[in-house]
Chains A and B, each alone.
Chain A
């Protein structure tokens, strides 16, 4: 029997091969067959979750609510010391110094990542901006968000902070961070579905021990992580409540 493993579509392209390496490592450690399926966008991933096709997922906080409350998933681990933050970015030609001074009607570019959009829109609120008075430009990738800014087709871009950092130096030289979130408590979680719950302790143990062997360290490095930290249901419930409050 094969289980389906997927990774939230907002993962950094630089770590694409890392997730395949991790999947191989996980299969060897657990002697379970995992098939890694990566979706192009959140819409396709949500459809797979709703159809009960997913058994293991590195999920963002927005999806954690549906996974835990509707689909019976439980959290395993999160990446050590990592949290999801968003940045509001403008072209260096833009003279605005404070998000509160941005005007209604501006063009805002972002991807379909719901967490990042939510965090970004919160940072635009001090300027009385919301979905009703901005022109939204939704694009497929963070590189396309950057291109919209560089071409002057968007006034503001919203990025996952990590994805912005991964952009090339040449691109970043032409852009400027206007605001960076410091939320600290929103993060991705590796979550396990109902068909694998009897293996939860075993998989969690293997993940937590990963950083203490050379091979495991190499795999973690390919993901850009230093190790995994255990997370309990309470912590994820707290994060879901927080996202719920922020989405209002």
Chain B
């Protein structure tokens, strides 16, 4: 389940855009220029079903995303999708993990309050008895140099 964002939940001045997410679901996004710095030493961990529905969240994920655990469990992982992220990046992610490989990249994630945070993300397929039963995503603090490279590169990929 994924809902449109509402102005009363947004902190600061915001812009509005409608994103077409995976499975042709449209979502109204309200986003700001407020960045939440990634905390030192922490990892953001979550697991999903093979279809990308969140099944498990780590406390740091709740803290950084601004959502409650109840809101996150059962939601598609695209609840974090920021309009500045080019669709081709996610296509690369899914093509890689569907083929059974690990994916790594730098991602600008959307918070519930419209703000954002940058992560270095690794997604790996969870293989049990030879079958993919889901995916684990682990996010860690990115280097600012890499983030600056992505800030320059991503707008060129739309």
Contacts and interface: CB of A to CB of B under 8 A. Distances in A.
Q: Do A and B come from one complex?
A: yes
Interface of A: 98-100, 122-123, 125-128, 179-185, 237-238, 241-242, 244-246, 248
Contacts of B60: 182
Interface in B97-142: 102, 104, 120, 122-124, 126, 128, 136-138, 140-142
Given A179-B40, A182-B42, A184-B59, A242 B143 contact: no
A165 to B, nearest CB: 16
Given A126-B144, A241-B136, A248 B102 contact: yes
Given A245-B123, A248-B104, 13 more contacts: A98-B40, A100-B143, A123-B41, A128-B146, A182-B41, A182-B43, A184-B59, A238-B136, A241-B126, A242-B138, A244-B124, A245-B122, A246-B122
Contact of B143 (A128, A179, A185, A246): A128
Contact of A248 (B47, B59, B122): B122
A123 to B, nearest CB: 6
A40 B23 CA distance: 54
Contacts of B85: none
B136 A125 contact: no
7 contacts: A125-B120, A183-B42, A237-B128, A242-B136, A246-B43, A246-B140, A248-B102
Contacts of A244: 102, 124
B6 interface: no
A185 B122 CA distance: 16
B145 interface: yes
The residue among A100, A126, A181, A246 with the most chain B CB atoms within 10 A of its own CB is: A126
Contacts of B128: 237
Interface-central residue, A183, A245, A248, by most chain B CB under 10 Å: A245
Interface of B: 39-43, 45, 47, 58-60, 102, 104, 120, 122-124, 126, 128, 136-138, 140-146
Contacts of A126: 40, 141-144
Given A242-B136, A245-B124, A181 B145 contact: no
A123 B126 CA distance: 25
B40 to A, nearest CB: 5
B40 A242 contact: no
Nearest to A123: B41
A237 to B, nearest CB: 7
Contact of B40 (A99, A241, A245, A248): A99
B71 to A, nearest CB: 21
B144 A184 contact: no
Nearest to B143: A128
Given A125-B140, A126-B142, A180 B58 contact: no
A184 B45 CA distance: 11
Contacts of A180: 41
Contacts of A242: 45, 136, 138
Given A125-B143, A237-B126, A245-B138, A179 B41 contact: yes
A238 B40 CA distance: 23
A122 B140 contact: yes
Contacts of A245: 102, 122-124, 136-138
Given A179-B40, A183-B43, A184-B58, A127 B124 contact: no
Interface hub of B39, B41, B59, B122 (most chain A Cβ within 10 A):
B41
Contacts of A128: 143, 145-146
Nearest to B128: A237
